[in-house]
Amino acid sequence: MNVNVKRLLWILLAVTLVLSCSGAYLRLTNEKNNKTVVTAVDYLELQKMADSAAMDLEPILDRLQKAGINTLGIKELSLRQMAYNGQVYLAPLGQFMSLNQLYQPQIWKDCAEATAGKQVGPDKLVVTSDQLSTISFLRTRLSHRFLPEQIIEFTSSGKTFFILNAELVQLDKPKDTVNKQNTAFQETDARLGFDDQLISHLKARGFSIILRPDNNTAANLAYLKEYEKAIRDNDVETIIFANEVSGAPDNLGPIEKIVEQNNMTVGIIETSVQLKYVEQKGLTQLIQDTNYPINRVYSSTNDEYVQEASERYYRWVRAVVDRSNRILYVTPFKDAKLNYSENMENTLQMLERFQSTIQEMGFDTTGGLQRLNPEVPGRWHYLMVSLSLLFGVLLYLAYLARPSLKVMAMLFIVGLTGCLGANLILSRDFSQLYALAAAILYPTLSTLMLLIYLRDNPHHSLIIKMFCSLAIILVINMAGAFTVVTSMADIRYIMNVEFFRGVKLAFLVPLLLFILNYFVVFSGDDGFRQRVMEVLKMQPTYLALLAFLIVGAAGYYYLVRSGNTTAAQISTLELRFRETLETWFMARPRFKEFLIAYPALFAMVYLYHRYKHDFILLMLGLGVVIGSVSMVNSFCHGFTAITVSASRTVGGLLVGMVTVAGTLIGIWILEQIWKRIISVR
């Protein structure tokens, strides 16, 4: 094909990439405004741990503030919590009646009269108090959550009793079908809103508050006005739902209004597998209706299975740096091998260490979370993205198949029609499809260009070949990384509401296409089919067998460590190595790049330059593809900041130069040994 056509395609590719930069700019702007990290501790769990350890809570709060931790998560007060605190007596109606029939007949009689003619099950809760302030609190809070006919109130023997004749929240729900039949024996509870006096006390101490509201099973939604008052009076900026969104599933309007009018941030909790967020009834609808006023939460309950405290610390730091969680929500550790005071001390030490590290890494730990821009790039932007992919595909075909100008023109017209139709006529979101196309196209194109360069420039010196080969891989794959970034640029990807789903395809397809690239590039005059048969009939040399073993081991590692789940366990040695790398770099370089890709690239160039066996390019080139895919894939994690992914790529290159040096020295030593063996023979 005419060289000028290829040059034109390269120019058009560059121009459309530049014209699609608005998405990348949007993402960079949001990431720049998302540098505040809030470390919050669950107050209720902290209080319970302190009580169990016989420790005074006030010095613990002082220690948190000294470490720079000034945020506490406050859950709703519940009937069970009030009973735990000694404020009320709580019992199922059946138990309450049998006990009082024996010991306090008058209370039994008054209760029987209050419930006469009403269908009240024996599992319904009876709440008792003789304190006027507590009775007034209960009367107000219960009336905001239950309908009048659901509350049976009576007075007897100087005490006031409330019978909650309504479906309540079930605690410790059974997971097996056998116990599900015994629902009468399951404890129930009722949420009563937030403790205003407690919040006022903590605010006076200098703490900011994150509210953890829960849903209520009763029909009365008047309690939502309490939320609004607590938020307004205490300058609450963040809300994380404890279980279900208040008012879900059919009455989300009031809570949506509260979020919007108070410019609040809704915390969405990262799942243990790091995909999307923990599903809560009504949460998806809420964040969509309020235009994504969200930020990501890492809950320490996700690492309760971790045995070593240092690994917890590692996971917390990675959650902030790698996955852009900006709220760390911590509950005290519950290691069964340790007592309460030891668990408390470990928790505090880990919080202090984490807070110090995050501050040293340049994150703001004193400000509030900023509301990010929820804008989604428009049709023109995605038209430019799709056109850049079209020109990239045409370039790939031009170098691979060398079609005629007529065929290329037809492909361009068909592709242009598809781009215009997909982006200007259809209203569907193709951002993930574009990202997947880039994740496949650019690693494939980069290795094709590498093969062509090495084939066509045997006269270049070894140093020039190494430099040019590295430049080809880096420049083309970074164009792919840019395409991925600008495709998945809006807040849905930053907050992992949506995520890249093409991981396996992006990892495997470039490998298969590289094999096609190799056979086409080196088919020569014999043709593609003949070249394939020649390779299959080759007698393998020891060098080829060694390369095959290396590539096989790398391929196994590649497959089991790819994607969002892994079949390979992380060893303690690898964990320590990771931590060491992270003390040197902002983000840990990827093993696939500095242990596989760069050594394979330079070994491939060196060996091909010296021995001219193109089969070397096939074997070691697969390792180069692994690295190319990894470079682009780093940017497929939309929740990871671009600067972090770029730092990871640079770190991989720097560490890769060390492993490259070791690899080349090792090859040279093997060459010398082989020469001596040959000379002896």
DSSP collapsed to 3 states, 600-628: HHHHHHHHHHHHCCCHHHHHHHHHHHHHH
Structure tokens at 677: 């063996």
Out of 219-233, 296-310, 448-462, 560-574, pick the least confident.
560-574
Q: What is the 3-state secondary structure (H, E, C) of 627-666?
A: HHHHHHHHCCCCCCCHHHHHHHHHHHHHHHHHHHHHHHHH
Q: What is the pLDDT of residues 416-446, one digit of tens each?
A: 999 999 999 887 899 999 999 999 999 999 9
Per the DSSP assignment, residues forming a β-bridge with 163 are: 126, 152
Stretch (H or E) spanning 446: helix 431-456
Distance CA 154, CA 170 (A): 25
Of 246-250, 303-307, 317-321, the range with the highest mean pLDDT is 317-321
- For residues 627 and 602, the answer to whether their CB atoms sit within 8 Å is no
Q: CB atoms < 10 A from the CB of 267, how many?
A: 26
Q: What ranges make up the beta strands (E) of 8-165?
A: 38-42, 71-75, 89-92, 125-129, 151-156, 159-164
On the question of pLDDT at 229 being above 80, the answer is yes
Which residues have C-beta within 8 Å of that of residue 238, sequence separation ≥ 6? 38, 210, 211, 264, 265, 266, 267, 295, 327, 369
Output the DSSP codes for 142-210.
HHHHS-GGGEEEEEETTEEEEEE-S--EESS---SHHHHTTGGGS-EE-B----HHHHHHHHHTT-EEE
For the chain, how many residues are written? 681
Residue at 145: amino acid letter: R
Distance CA 571, CA 582 (A): 17
Read off the pLDDT band of 173 (50, 70, 90): low
- State the DSSP code for 404: -
Q: What is the pLDDT of residues 628-657, one digit of tens each?
A: 999 999 999 999 999 999 999 999 999 999
pLDDT number for residue 184? 47
Dihedral sign for Cα 393, 396, 399, 402, please: negative
Closest to 64 in 3D by CA, of 73, 51, 54, 52: 73
Distance CA 418, CA 437 (A): 15
CA distances from 221 to 148, 190, 191, 257, 304 (A): 13, 14, 13, 14, 35
- State the DSSP code for 122: T
Structure tokens at 220: 């009365």
Read off the pLDDT band of 583 (50, 70, 90): low
Read off the pLDDT band of 562 (50, 70, 90): low
Structure tokens at 322: 């790698």
pLDDT number for residue 557? 60
Task: Domain ranges for the chain, please list them.
Answer: 3-30+374-680, 34-76+193-360, 81-188
Residue 356: phi, psi to the nearest 5?
-65, -40
- Give the three-class secondary structure for 70: coil
| H helix count then E strand count, the chain | 28, 13
Q: Looking at residues 190-204, what average pLDDT do you find? A: 93
Starting at the edge strand found earlier in the chain, the sheet holding 89-92 runs 89-92, 125-129, 159-164, 151-156
- Give the three-class secondary structure for 227: helix
pLDDT number for residue 580? 66
Out of 10-14, 380-384, 515-519, pick the least confident.
515-519
CA distances from 13 to 468, 483, 514 (A): 21, 11, 22
Out of 19-28, 166-175, 226-235, 296-305, pick the least confident.
166-175
On the question of pLDDT at 1 being above 60, the answer is no
Residue at 597: amino acid letter: A
Q: How far apart are the first and last CA of the chain?
A: 51
- For residues 629 and 571, the answer to whether their CB atoms sit within 8 Å is no
pLDDT number for residue 523? 80
Considering the chain, what percentage of its residues have pLDDT values greater than 90?
67
pLDDT number for residue 543? 57
pLDDT number for residue 594? 87
Per the DSSP assignment, residues forming a β-bridge with 74 are: 211
pLDDT number for residue 681? 60
Residue 145: phi, psi to the nearest 5?
-115, -20
Distance CA 576, CA 125 (A): 53
Q: CB atoms < 10 A from the CB of 603, how many?
A: 22
pLDDT number for residue 178? 44
Which residues have C-beta within 8 Å of that of residue 249, sequence separation ≥ 6? 281, 282, 285
Considering the chain, what percentage of its residues have pLDDT values greater than 70?
88
Read off the pLDDT band of 560 (50, 70, 90): low
pLDDT number for residue 98? 94
Closest to 121 in 3D by CA, of 215, 185, 191: 185
Which residue did the predictor score with more confidence, 428 or 458? 458
- For residues 237 and 230, the answer to whether their CB atoms sit within 8 Å is no
Output the DSSP codes for 520-552.
HHT-GGG-HHHHHHHHHT----HHHHHHHHHHH
pLDDT number for residue 564? 47
Distance CA 187, CA 154 (A): 23
Average pLDDT, the chain: 88
On the question of pLDDT at 115 being above 80, the answer is yes
Distance CA 138, CA 459 (A): 89
Q: What ranges make up the beta strands (E) of 43-124?
A: 71-75, 89-92
pLDDT number for residue 454? 96
Read off the pLDDT band of 570 (50, 70, 90): low
Closest to 71 in 3D by CA, of 105, 97, 46: 46
- State the DSSP code for 597: I
Contacts 24+ apart (CB under 8 A), 572-575: 575/311, 575/314
Q: Looking at residues 464-491, what average pLDDT do you find? A: 97
Q: What ranges make up the beta strands (E) of 415-489?
A: none
Quick one: 34-76+193-360 is in which CATH superfamily? Answer: Divalent-metal-dependent TIM barrel enzymes (3.20.20.150)
Distance CA 402, CA 384 (A): 25
pLDDT number for residue 176? 47
Which residue did the predictor score with more confidence, 176 or 244? 244
pLDDT number for residue 624? 94
Out of 305-319, 357-371, 533-547, pick the least confident.
533-547
Q: Looking at residues 250-277, what average pLDDT do you find? A: 91
Distance CA 645, CA 486 (A): 14
- For residues 328 and 38, the answer to whether their CB atoms sit within 8 Å is yes
